Amino acid sequence: MADIAGSTGLAKVMMPVPDPHPDVFDREWPLRVGDIDREGRLRFDAATRHIQDIGSDQLREMGYEETHPLWIVRRTMIDMLEPIEFKDMLRLRRWCSGTSNRWCEMRVRIDGRRGGLVESEAFWININRETQGPARIADDFIEGLQRTTDVDRLKWKPYLKAGGREDASQIREYPVRVTDIDIFDHMNNSVYWTVVEDYLFSNPELLHRPVRVTIEHDAPVSLGDKLEIISHVHPAGSTDQFGAELADRTVTTLTYAVGDETKAVASIFAL
């Protein structure tokens, strides 16, 4: 396995937690039965819900829930490094790792009290309620975020490209349920990660080693959409397209498509 230390892009190294630090948001709550798979492991979709929940809690505690209520996630990267298992207590720490005037990257580290570790980073865009487009973050809000990072010119750059149907290893429908739709009338971010869990169920060897999953969102999925998952498996030796650091390992991509429109793209590879 290649050493990805110092890498960027899909093989990037996430910022370590600045602990102790007064501006790291720190909370604990139990791992519950609705969060786990049949073996008692914290699932990716459940981890994503926790990442969303601590974000909402931090926004509320910072006093910006009313002035900055709408955010969309453009990319989430999750490293499942060591499994966190049922009945454990989760410690979640959230802090900013990069800012611009309309978006930011937020890190969340999840530790199990009895062991287990999940690291994540998400690219969040502040949205204007009226225009539904990116909106400037208030100066005092950015000032608070920047206390944990010196990155203040964060730019968006996609790491993934959609896979085509003609060379797919599998194409299957993924029904969108009414319970998948959130307050914004779109499929909730965490639901995209249930697709990843389905893939891992069919490839259990990835569940017993550290794995990185990244999802980039291009457009929302709505109720009634005929969502299809287009899978591609890129064997080791053919994966330098994802960065030279990943050329020695297999990378799987999952393209979330409605007709000819790409809604999201995921990548999965062992660390």
* Helix/strand/coil for 198: helix
199-209 pLDDT tens trace = 999 999 998 89
Which one is predicted more confidently, 16 or 5? 16
163-184 pLDDT tens trace = 999 999 999 999 999 999 998 8
Check whether 1 has a pLDDT greater than 60: no
Backbone angles phi, psi at 260, to 5 degrees: -95, 5
Give yes or no for a cis peptide into 175 (omega within 30° of 0). no
What is the side-by-side strand order in the sheet with 251-258?
A: 25-30, 89-99, 103-112, 117-126, 71-82, 211-217, 261-270, 251-258, 227-234, 170-173
Contact 188, 45 (CB under 8 A): no
Q: What percent of the chain has pLDDT over 70?
A: 97
pLDDT at residue 7, as a whole number: 64
* Helix/strand/coil for 242: helix
271/268 Cα distance (integer angstroms): 10
Backbone angles phi, psi at 235, to 5 degrees: -70, 160
The count of other CB atoms within 10 Å of the CB of residue 150 is 7
Contact 215, 150 (CB under 8 A): no
| Of the candidates 123, 116, 125, the residue with the CA atom closest to the CA atom of residue 210 | 116
- Our measurement of the distance from residue 98's CA atom to the centroid of its chain's CA atoms, rounded to an integer in Å, reads 16
| pTM for this entry | 0.96
pLDDT at residue 183, as a whole number: 87
HSE-up (13 A, CA, CB side) for residue 200 = 26
